[in-house]
Amino acid sequence: DGGITQSPKYLFRKEGQNVTLSCEQNLNHDAMYWYRQDPGQGLRLIYYSQIVNDFQKGDIAEGYSVSREKKESFPLTVTSAQKNPTAFYLCASQPARTVRTEAFFGQGTRLTVV
Amino acid sequence: RKEVEQDPGPFNVPEGATVAFNCTYSNSASQSFFWYRQDCRKEPKLLMSVYSSGNEDGRFTAQLNRASQYISLLIRDSKLSDSATYLCVVNPIGGKLIFGQGTELSVKP
């Protein structure tokens, strides 16, 4: 089955640690996105990539890093510089440069700092 | 001004009511428009795409007004199961997806 998979579903991090969230898609989509959602809030864009080996900062990129070495994979690292990382993280993918093509989301990762 | 703005919620309506959500966007180059539904603690899922001529899917109708740069979603005969947050999404060709902040709908018996 084609789809987009995020792992893990739940993640606990100690303060000062870096953690990496996985996002993999087998839809052959060019574009991939990372969003953060806080309780009762909308989605805020962290990073996005429209092609392998290229990515752009979103609205809240500070304290996060990404890589796009393969078309299928777009991992997000939450670094210790991110002061308030507890949130729901969503990854999405989309065929790029075409009209009327919706994005598909993974099931999300809930990150909690303990 | 935010790139995409939605009606602030929440909307509390009785079963059977008709409810409308509006969304405005600032980038006139935007080409693709969508409504997503997000249930509590879940990922957003596509509800419907929005086409220039307007489109309908059962109880749901989406409209696009390019001149005024807004899209709308109408839900007729609301069901309890329609309770969710509705997200407006705008996408210029080759550009990034831009989400509105969402409008929460609560349908009561």
pLDDT digits (tens, 9 = 90+) for B44-64: 999 999 988 789 999 999 999
pLDDT tens column, B61-105: 999 999 999 999 999 999 999 999 999 999 876 678 889 999 999
A81 touches chain B (CB under 8 A): no
CA A15 to chain B, closest CA, distance in angstroms equals 24
Tell me, yes or no, if A39 comes closer than 8 A to chain B by beta carbon: no
Give me the residue from B31, B99, B101 closest to A99, CB to CB. Answer: B31
Q: Does B101 contact A106 at a Cβ distance shorter than 8 Å?
A: no
Q: Which of A50, A58, A90 sits opposite B43 (nearest CB)?
A: A90
- Percentages of chain B per state (helix, strand, coil), in multiples of 5: 5, 55, 40
CA-based nearest residue in chain A for residue B95: A97
The predicted structure's pLDDT at residue A99: 57
- How close, in Å, is residue A72 to chain B by CA atoms? 18
**Are B9 and B103 spatial neighbours (Cβ–Cβ below 8 Å)?**
yes
Encode chain A (114 residues) as per-residue pLDDT tens digits. Answer: 679 999 999 999 898 899 999 999 999 999 999 999 998 888 999 999 999 999 999 999 999 999 999 999 999 999 988 889 999 999 999 987 665 578 899 999 999 998
Neighboring chain A residues of B99 at a CB cutoff of 8 Å? 35, 42-43, 45
Order of strands, sheet of A19-25, starting from the edge strand that comes earlier in the sequence: A4-7, A19-25, A76-78, A64-66
What's the CA gap between B30 and B89, in Å, rounded? 10
User: Is A94 part of the contact surface with chain B (CB cutoff 8 Å)?
Assistant: yes
Q: Which of B32, B43, B51 sits opposite A107 (nearest CB)?
A: B43
| Max Cα–Cα distance, chain B, nearest Å | 43
Computed on alpha carbons and rounded to an integer, the radius of gyration of chain A in Å comes to: 13
3-state secondary structure of B80: helix
- Say if strands B19-25 and B70-75 run parallel, antiparallel, or are unpaired: antiparallel
Residue A20 phi/psi, 5° resolution?
-120, 130
Min Cα–Cα distance to chain B from A16, Å: 26
For chain B, say whether A107 makes contact (Cβ under 8 Å).
yes
| Total beta-carbon pairs less than 8 A apart between chain A and chain B | 56
